[in-house]
Copies of this chain bind each other. A is one copy, B any other.
């Protein structure tokens, strides 16, 4: 691909940031609080706008209904606030896992009233999404069981199907359900939507505007994630991604910090799909990370930088040459055509793109020199006072 085209290719890649990614998060053993961490939606919007101003590729912010909307700030006001900051509101994330009533599940709770509460919250979320102009309803369920015998797995499946159908029926025509799967945590025995096969069957049962969301940390060890992505694309069922990385479980580490080649291979399959079909798939790329140690804004900038590099590397693969090598079963050359794209340093191209868009060439350094973190840390420390870190027991 010509360097000129490479630079333009980057214009395609928009990465949505998560509002909760600017807040303090941790592990079951506690949270290490940061003064600069955002608490309110206003602060989250400011932080996201700051990242977008520096990176130029994060025009939307995913929001979390339970944590980001409050009575004194209607949804339309949140959207307006975002707009003032140069952002749009992205995916709406209901929360049906935190409240005590969801102890035994939300949409798959045995209790019809609790199922209704969960569904109502999701329908509310759709209404909020209309007000904010969101195009995606992002659904992740903690639902599942911790012990054999705790519940009938198929009864729960049927409750999920029924509720997803009602959800889909309430969806505006410009909104898409993104249905996430996860094999473990916090349900330790059986998660109700455990893998892409279950998510695909449920999404198809829900309706045509329900697609599958792939969180890169939600697979068993050794899984070939890019093959799943390729199948979902071919089945027209890929809705989007939650980007993060992990060594063992769902560690929610920075994208590419453990296995950058894995993420590259996912982009490679997306490029393969484009090459095969001639069409550019519409995919919602979103970050979903949890930083207990890294400063939130730095981690976001680092993530976006990594995603852009890996996206560019995948675009570099000479696909006609690859197809020709494959035809000859020239295995070593085929692999090298992919590998060498990965080994190519694309930072000069990325710099060129940043220059063209009048962005800082080193967004992390620009952030550090901006004094933003120090300033908001002081403000927020004063505004919110000391925060507790939580306790395991």
Contact = CB atoms under 8 A, between A and B. Distances in A.
B345 A147 contact: no
Nearest to A151: B326
A311 interface: no
Contacts of A260: 261, 342
Interface residues of A, number: 112
Contact of A149 (B230, B338, B364, B389): B338
Interface in A315-340: 322-323, 325-327, 329, 331-332, 334-339
A343 B191 CA distance: 25
Contact of A146 (B28, B30, B152, B292): B292
A251 B20 CA distance: 25
A169 interface: no
Contact of A257 (B147, B224, B248): B147
Interface stretch (A77-85, A120-128, A215-223, A278-286): A215-223
A147 B331 contact: yes
A247 B261 contact: no
Interface in A220-238: 220-224, 227, 230-231, 233-235
A154 B299 CA distance: 26
How many copies of this chain are found per oligomer? 4
A159 interface: no
Contacts of A253: 146-147, 188-189
Contacts of A200: 197, 201
B150 A331 contact: yes
Q: Which of A28, A98, A184, A344 has the most CB of B within 10 A?
A: A28
A25 interface: yes
Contacts of A190: 224, 227
A154 B188 CA distance: 33
7 contacts: A26-B186, A29-B142, A32-B103, A150-B293, A152-B323, A254-B335, A343-B345
Interface of A: 20, 23-30, 32-33, 64, 67, 97-100, 103-104, 110, 142, 146-155, 157, 183-186, 188-191, 194-198, 200-201, 220-224, 227, 230-231, 233-235, 246-249, 251, 253-254, 257-262, 265, 268-269, 272-273, 276, 290, 292-295, 298-299, 302, 306, 309, 322-323, 325-327, 329, 331-332, 334-339, 342-345, 347, 364, 389-393
